[in-house]
């Protein structure tokens, strides 16, 4: 990190604290001494998602309504990492709850930030392999998800047609598809 770019936080106070988002205002000093009086930061829990390959080689995707955008979104399964939970354990739990599939083979692909200028959280994106259907969905009170399976080529087509709107999920798919293509080439 270039230390000459780092701001010093002089003070901070909370404007709103909620279960899914918290808003705080920081007073900061820039490296050249200028003061930023009110820099607003959204605090969210960290998230996790996966390009989840079943033991048949299909990719699990979920569809759900996203109220803020007013869309039904095709997404990777995943969600919030609970307090005290590792990203991998959170992912294992989320996959089981959302899809009913159990996974034990996880590979971290990337850690990415949705908007580091205003939000403090990150998303850990994984490639999960060998999923087996072991139960029905076990959804949260306000979750309604439809689980679909796709071939790799079908997912590429969804991306090409701009039918996956969630940017963090497109990022995870990018890394996973690159990884899978490299593995395919290595096998010859």
65-108 confidence digits (pLDDT tens): 999 999 999 999 999 999 999 999 999 999 999 999 999 899 99
Q: In sequence order, what are the residues at sequence separation of 6 or more whose Cβ sits closer than 8 angstroms to the Cβ of residue 148?
A: 60, 61, 62, 63, 74
What pLDDT, on the 0 to 100 scale, is given for residue 1?
A: 55
Right CATH for 47-187 from 3.40.109.10, 2.60.40.150, 3.90.79.10, 3.40.50.620: 3.90.79.10
**Across 54-66, average pLDDT:** 97
Residues 64, 48: Cα–Cα separation, whole Å? 17
Query: pLDDT-based confidence at 163, cuts 50/70/90?
Result: very high
The sign one gets for the Cα dihedral 113, 79, 176, 166 is: negative
Task: Return mean pLDDT, the chain.
Answer: 95
Delimit the CATH 3.90.79.10 region(s) of the chain.
47-187
The pLDDT of residue 20 is 81
Q: What is the pLDDT of residues 111-128, one digit of tens each?
A: 999 999 999 999 999 999
């Amino acid at each position: 990190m270039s230390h000459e770019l780092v701001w010093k936080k002089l003070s901070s106070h909370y404007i709103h604290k909620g279960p899914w988002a918290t808003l705080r205002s920081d007073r900061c000093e820039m490296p050249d001494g200028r003061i930023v009086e009110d820099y607003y930061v959204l605090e969210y829990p960290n998230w996790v998602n996966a390009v989840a390959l079943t033991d048949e080689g299909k990719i699990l995707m979920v569809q759900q309504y996203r109220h803020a955008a007013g869309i039904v979104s095709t997404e990777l399964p995943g969600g919030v990492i609970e307090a005290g939970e590792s990203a991998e354990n959170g992912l294992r739990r989320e996959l089981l709850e959302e899809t009913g599939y159990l996974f034990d083979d996880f590979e971290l692909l990337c850690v990415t930030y949705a908007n580091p200028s205003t939000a403090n959280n990150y998303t850990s994106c994984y490639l999960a392999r060998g999923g087996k259907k072991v139960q029905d969905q076990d959804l949260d009170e306000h979750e309604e998800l439809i689980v679909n399976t796709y071939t790799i080529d079908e997912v590429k087509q969804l991306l090409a047609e701009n039918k996956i709107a969630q940017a963090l999920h497109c990022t995870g798919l990018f890394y996973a598809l690159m990884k899978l293509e490299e593995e395919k080439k290595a096998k010859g």
